[in-house]
Amino acid sequence: MHLACKPTYVPKIIQGRKQIEAMPREWVVQNIDRAADETLDLNDYWDYRRLLELLIIINARDSFNRSIAVGLAHTDYDIHEAAEDFSGTLDGAGGV
């Protein structure tokens, strides 16, 4: 999780995402929320945006929708904006 969301060097992010994609999808989807809470600072714009991207990649619809709801209610402008940017991405209208 850390490697997929924290680095600012894109090849490291891609490496982390590939590692997560190589894991059993069902297990990842069941554990992604807990892992994100334990590993990421979801009050940080960068971490939050990278998490949304990862949730799209693994098609974790429920976690994605929960994360969007949190972001839309967030008081930080950048996090709220990221939630708006990603809203609807997994709703079937052009989602992954």
- Which residues of the chain, if any, have pLDDT below 70? 91-96
Cα–Cα distance, 91 to 13 (Å, whole number): 25
- Classify residue 21: in a domain, yes or no: yes
Domain limits for position 17: 2-86
Quick check: is 92 in a domain?
Answer: no
Distance from C-alpha of 31 to C-alpha of 43, rounded to nearest angstrom: 20
CA distance linking residue 89 with residue 87, whole number of Å: 6
Q: What is the pLDDT of residue 92?
A: 41
pTM of the model: 0.90
Please tell me the total count of domains within the chain: 1
pLDDT at 90: 75
Does residue 41 form part of some domain? yes
Does 91 reside within a domain? no
pLDDT for the residue numbered 3 = 94
